[in-house]
């Protein structure tokens, strides 16, 4: 089983949110948090299961994560 780093997870969640036109502020209000907390999660600087559950509750799937991982892999291969 592959271990995903927080940067890929955060990027996948950010892409998912942006594709749906949802702001970090909307998520923060829904969760009772600051939008900066959502930003740190999407940057891979924090690992809040509570935030991740919001994404899953709102339609985020493992396929979204795998797609981001594939894109991330392509970008790092291009720089090798």
Given this model, what pLDDT does residue 32 score?
97
Per-residue pLDDT at 79 exceeds 60:
no
Residue 26 is assigned to a structural domain of this protein: yes
Q: To 10 degrees, what angle do helices 6-19 and 62-78 make?
A: 110
Residue 67 is assigned to a structural domain of this protein: yes
Per residue in 11-54, pLDDT tens? 999 999 999 999 999 999 999 999 999 999 999 998 899 999 99
Residue 6 is assigned to a structural domain of this protein: no
Per-residue pLDDT at 1 exceeds 70:
no
Which tokens belong to 74?
């392509």
Q: Give the CATH number, domain containing residue 48.
A: 1.10.260
Residue 30 vs residues 17, 35, 38, 48, 58: alpha-carbon distances, Å: 14, 10, 11, 15, 11
Residue range of the domain that includes 34: 17-73
Given this model, what pLDDT does residue 74 score?
59
| Entry pTM | 0.81
Choose between 53 and 3: higher pLDDT. Answer: 53
Question: C-alpha 69: how far from its chain's center?
Answer: 11
Residue 46 is assigned to a structural domain of this protein: yes
Q: Is 33 exposed, middle or buried (0-12, 13-18, 19+ CB in 10 A)?
A: middle
């Amino acid at each position: 089983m592959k271990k995903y780093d927080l940067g890929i997870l955060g990027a996948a969640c950010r892409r998912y949110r942006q594709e749906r036109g949802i702001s970090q502020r909307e998520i923060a209000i829904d969760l009772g948090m600051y939008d900066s907390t959502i930003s740190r999660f999407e940057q891979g600087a924090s690992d809040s299961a509570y935030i991740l559950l919001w994404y899953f509750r709102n339609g985020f799937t493992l396929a979204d994560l795998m797609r981001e991982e594939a894109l991330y892999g392509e970008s790092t291969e291009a720089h090798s």
